[in-house]
Structure 1
Amino acid sequence: MRGILLERLHAIPAARRMLEDAGYGERCTYRAGDFSDVPPGGDVYILSRVLHDWDDERCREVLRHCSRAMPAHADLLIVERVLPGDGSASLATAWDLHMMCNVGGRERRADHYARLLDDAQLTLVGRSPLPLDGSVLHARREVSPV
């Protein structure tokens, strides 16, 4: 497996060191850029703890850039804490407050992510739990009927 790490220029040296120290450096291509520079043609795209930093409109923009870059067969994996739909206690609730107060972002419920994805012509097709109330949300491009 090989990958492209899209990151801001100032973060690439640290990312390169970490991946090389872990033995994966030669399997990664490093590309300086932002969300408008999403490389096309990948099989899997990963946004890990990215969307919670932003308001809904910026999330839609990020997701649209991903959607445009993704071939029809590609998957988008989104790693975030997801607020429980039933209002039960969750670590995500504390993070929601933290994100709103410090960066203007927020944690969201799965149905909220589904709406943001839909606005970018992506469909939420699954969700898998992670430790510490995290989740991997699995999305795919909507395919127009022939």
Structure 2
Amino acid sequence: MLRERPQAAAAARSLLAGALPNGAGHGDRVERRAGGFADVPPGGDVHLLSRVLHGGEDGRCREILRHLSAAMPPHADLPAVERLLPDDGSPSLATARDLHVRCTVGGRERTAGYYPRLFADAGPELVGREPLPLDARVRPERRARRTR
């Protein structure tokens, strides 16, 4: 299932159906629903966040993560794709993107070391980190398995 804002869900319908250049032709395999993070349906094996967290301040990010974590079964994964600011101040595309999101939407890019704190009280736990092109990283998170 693809859950996205209404305009993005409509664009995904065309792309997945193969109607756009480089379309995937998999429209019949994906259920599309318009919606937000506050109404994530329960279940699902994977909940992908791609360039979502940099668009918000910490409180909003934690709210999003709590909604997702509450909807995720124990085996579910939450890959989060974000650009990471370098810890050492070295040149990076993430630095320019940081300035852009701060000025336009009030969010920010973060360092790799910052994300565990962001996720700490929201539920998911970090299980790895994989590099992607253009200074992005996928951060596989998994719903925390809490013992009582």
TM range (shorter): over 0.9
- Aligned to 2:113, what secondary structure does the other structure show? helix
The Cα shift of 1:145 comes to: 2.7
The alignment's C-alpha RMSD in Å is 1.1
Task: Give the Cα separation in 2 of the matches to 1:20 and 1:119.
Answer: 39
Q: What stretches of structure 2 of length at least 5 have no aligned partner?
A: 19-23
1:30 maps to which residue? 32
**2:47 counterpart residue number:** 45
Matches within 5 A, 1:12-91: 12-21=9-18, 22-91=24-93
Instruction: Give the Å deviation of 1:95.
Output: 0.4
Q: Partners of 1:123 and 1:93 in 2: how far apart?
A: 26
Q: Which residue of 2 aligns with 1:112?
A: 114
Deviations 1:55-81 (A, max 9, x none): 111100100011001111111000110
How far 1:43 moved relative to its partner?
A: 0.8
| TM-score, length of structure 1 as denominator length | 0.93
Quick one: which of 8, 12, 35 aligns to 1:11? 8
Does residue 100 of structure 1 match 2:97? no
Matched residues, number: 143
Which contiguous aligned blocks of 4+ residues in structure 1 show a shift greater than 6 angstroms?
none
Deviation at 1:28, TM superposition (A): 0.6
Identity %: 61
TM-superposed CA distance for 1:39, in Å, is: 2.1
The runs of 5 or more residues in structure 1 that have no matched partner are none
Larger strand share, 1 or 2? 1
